[in-house]
């Protein structure tokens, strides 16, 4: 109930330790099969459906595709954070995926993207923007970025995130 009572877009900062609570072991893809930007979005959206986080892949894919049409969500340094709000999810959901060879994503630094954080939240979720801000802050750390490129399992990944937070 606490979240419902908070004002929308509350400036309340997120505790660094809270970040790790949003990552789930079933929402981690150690190696993506897709080799294109669209393919990555489709594969990740399909994963959300397979893990019963959304009812239809198309609902999330369509929105993410439209968001990418406004400008790439690649933030540079081999990281992309495709994100959107939809009533298709029950709560803020984060899917992390890796592609060791990288995918051309139209990032501002033109570098291929190797780490993807797909963030999908329902319209009423007040932690969405706070979470995005904190995530960017944490993953932009050079050492962490390099370490994430090497992880193979969710356990290794979450240890890194927890350590950084």
Q: Are strands 113-121 and 79-80 parallel, antiparallel or unpaired?
A: parallel
Q: What does residue 68 show for φ and ψ, rounded to 5 degrees?
A: -65, -30
String of contacts with other proteins for each residue 107-126, x by CB under 8 A:
-x-------------xx---
Q: Which is nearer to other proteins, 35 or 51 (CB)?
A: 51
82, exposed or middle or buried, with CB in 10 Å at 0-12, 13-18, 19+?
Answer: buried
Least CB distance from residue 17 to other proteins, whole Å?
A: 21
63: its two tokens: 């929105």
61-80 residues in contact with other proteins (CB under 8 A) are: 62-63, 66-67, 69-73, 75-76
Min dist CB 163 to other proteins, Å, is: 22
Residues 6+ apart with CB under 8 A from 127: 3, 14, 92, 121
Q: Of 106 and 163, which has the nearer Cβ to other proteins?
A: 106
Among 29, 45, 81, 94, binds other proteins (CB under 8 A): 81
Give the span between the Cα atoms of 56 and 50, in whole angstroms.
9
Positions 7 through 36 that interact with other proteins (CB under 8 A): 9
Q: In terms of CB distance, is 30 or 62 closer to other proteins?
A: 62
């Amino acid at each position: 109930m606490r979240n419902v009572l908070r004002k929308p877009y509350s400036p309340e900062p997120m505790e660094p330790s809270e970040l790790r609570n949003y990552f789930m072991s079933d929402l981690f893809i150690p190696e993506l099969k897709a080799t294109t930007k669209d393919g990555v979005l489709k594969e990740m959206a399909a994963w959300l459906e397979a893990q019963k986080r959304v009812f239809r892949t198309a609902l999330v894919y369509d929105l993410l595709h439209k968001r990418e049409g406004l400008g790439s969500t690649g933030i540079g340094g081999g990281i992309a954070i495709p994100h959107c709000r939809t009533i298709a999810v029950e709560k803020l959901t984060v899917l992390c995926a890796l592609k060791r060879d990288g995918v051309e994503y139209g990032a501002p630094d033109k570098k291929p993207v190797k780490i993807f954080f797909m963030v999908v939240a329902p319209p009423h979720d007040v932690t969405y923007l706070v979470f995005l801000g904190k995530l960017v802050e944490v993953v932009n750390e050079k050492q962490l970025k390099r370490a994430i490129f090497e992880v193979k399992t969710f356990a290794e990944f979450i240890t890194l995130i927890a350590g950084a937070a």
